[in-house]
């Protein structure tokens, strides 16, 4: 399974999905003009991963070694939120097999809006997220 890398820009987050390296993250700012062009490849990649997890082809994600999916966004617009939700639904589907998953949602300590947005998405997707405050960081 090929690695998926989307390079960041001021409006596009850095996205790295790598089964071989156990790296799964979305970082930065997400307000792309064409949100579908950015997130459709991500959703398709996760669907492929999900199929392999559910078929038993991939069994390395255990309770002791879960798949860690990290969200570390400074800002995301409503269009991006919809696609993040779709990503989590697909991850939840994969989790229905034997895959153990931890979603790590990073936020700046003083950014209660981003924390609440993560809680809302977790509630809508009916998933547990691990909320991790960051100290002394800045989006600038």
pLDDT tens digits along 29-85: 999 999 999 999 999 999 999 999 999 999 999 999 999 999 999 999 999 999 999
Question: What 8-state DSSP symbol labels residue 124?
Answer: H
Structure tokens at 85: 């939700």
Place of tokens 């799964």: 24
User: Is the model's pLDDT at 140 over the cut of 80?
Assistant: no
In this prediction, residue 136 carries a pLDDT of: 64
Domain chopping of the chain, boundaries: 4-134
**Dihedral in degrees, nearest 10, Cα atoms 73, 75, 79, 80:** -10
Tens digits of residue pLDDT in 100-138? 999 999 999 999 999 999 999 999 999 999 999 998 655
CB 25 within 8 A of CB 15: yes
């Amino acid at each position: 399974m090929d690695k998926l890398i989307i390079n960041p820009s001021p409006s596009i987050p850095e996205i790295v999905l790598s089964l071989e390296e156990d790296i799964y993250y979305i970082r930065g700012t997400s307000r792309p003009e064409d949100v579908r062009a950015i997130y459709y490849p991500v959703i398709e990649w996760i669907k492929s991963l999900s199929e392999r997890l559910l078929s038993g082809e991939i069994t390395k994600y255990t309770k002791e070694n879960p798949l860690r999916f990290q969200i570390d966004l400074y800002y995301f617009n409503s269009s991006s939120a919809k696609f993040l939700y779709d990503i989590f639904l697909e991850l939840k589907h994969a989790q229905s097999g034997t895959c153990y998953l931890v979603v790590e949602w990073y936020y700046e300590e003083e950014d209660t809006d981003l924390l609440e947005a993560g809680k809302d998405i977790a509630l809508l997707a009916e998933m547990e997220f691990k909320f991790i405050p960051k100290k002394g960081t800045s989006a600038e």
